[in-house]
Structure 1
């Protein structure tokens, strides 16, 4: 592939990667539980990103143009999933906030809040589903990627190269977020800070889910 195509797609990918989105908040949420959970969640996201790249390479974009209901279905399921994650965590945060201040200061409460451990399997599954059901990523790969593939180039191989570029950039950015979260763990283990952080991240996921759902019907 010509260097101009690679650099052009990398520029688009950089904008998408740096824009706050569901994947960003999900990676932070799992990283604040345990840094390695954030790493595994990010790996799950990259698996789905490469899946989107493969779909673009085999020509699924044309199928979605012909049957837009498929894309709408992905958006509806993705929005509902984000809404479920966000509201579920928000309800948990509200429940913890109602605990007495004395109980919230105990070691038991601290552990219950910050060390209610997600398994690596849960983290991986959440990352895979987050990116697999993200309609914006679908739009990026299925609609915006093909123009960066020169005529005559092998579609699947080119799509995998571009997908690899996006995955490498996305994973690097996620690792920066995970590193920041790991260094700030001591501060985040404060019960009051942890509850507010859970509220903010959960609320952001719920809002994004609602926006995706509304967008699917407009």
Structure 2
């Protein structure tokens, strides 16, 4: 790969993961409670991204072209998972507002790595994104050394970014400023999850209606 292709790939990748979405909102929500939970969730998110990267770089996305029903099925399943996570987050935020117990940032978060992994994998649209991204920059007939380098660089930069977000959101200053708003973070994050889930379901419904 040329230097220009590497630069374009990294810029597009970093721009994509820097955009606020379920992954980032999850880290903000956990960071104001517990640094360890936020970092583990960040690693879970990148474990999910690593799956999508591997599938795309290794060309396994052709499986979805051979089995066209598979992607809509995964999208619907992922939408329900995101919706469930969103509802749970909203309920937790409402309960926190009522009791104000959530204003304290103390306490542990259960299975944060799994929560990060589930949040990321619940959106199979990531596979389409990675496939489209790599098709623009990956040379035709690229060897395994190039593919391995792409995998390593994307995973390394992704881990660095998400862990940095986790550390920043769990910093003492951030927690001091926003710790009292923890229930609102839950509600906003939950609402975002639900909206993303509804958008995925709507897109699947439109695609199925337009199918011959």
Instruction: Report the TM range for the smaller structure's normalisation.
Output: 0.7 to 0.9
Residues 34-85 of structure 1 deviation map (CA, whole Å, 9 limit, x = unaligned): 1111111111121222222221233222221232221112211222111111
Going from structure 1 to structure 2, the CA distance change for 1:84 and 1:15 (only over 3 Å counts) comes to same
Task: Provide the C-alpha distance between the structure 2 equivalents of 1:131 and 1:117, rounded to a whole number of angstroms.
Answer: 21
Superposition pairs for residues 6-155 of structure 1, below 5 Å? 6-99=6-99, 104=100, 109-110=101-102, 114-119=105-110, 122-154=111-143
Q: Which residue is equivalent to 2:167?
A: 179
Contact 2:31 2:37 in 1 (8 A): yes
* Cα distance in structure 1, aligned partners of 2:6 and 2:184: 41
Over 3 Å counting, the alpha-carbon distance change for 1:54 and 1:175 in structure 2 is: closer
Partners in 2 of 1:98 and 1:85 — Cα distance? 20
CA RMSD of aligned residues (A): 2.2
Q: CA deviation at 1:115?
A: 3.2
SS of 2:61's partner is helix
* Contact 2:61/2:127, CA 8 A, preserved across alignment: no
Instruction: Indicate if the aligned counterparts of 1:17 and 1:169 stay in contact, CA closer than 8 A.
Output: no
Inter-CA distance 93–124: structure 2 relative to 1 (3 Å threshold): same
CA-CA distance at 1:124 after TM superposition: 0.9
After the TM superposition, which segments of 4 or more aligned residues of structure 1 sit over 3 Å from their partners?
113-116, 156-160
The two structures have a TM-score, normalised by structure 1, of 0.82
Greater Cα offset, 1-10 or 160-169: 160-169
Task: Measure the CA separation in 1 of the matches of 2:96 and 2:117.
Answer: 28
Is 1:207 aligned to 2:195, yes or no?
yes
Which runs of no fewer than 5 residues in structure 1 stay unpaired?
A: none
Task: Give the Cα–Cα distance (whole angstroms) in 1 for the partners of residues 47 and 135 of structure 2.
Answer: 20
Deviation, 1:157, is 4.3
TM-score normalised by structure 2 residue count: 0.84
Matched positions, count: 204
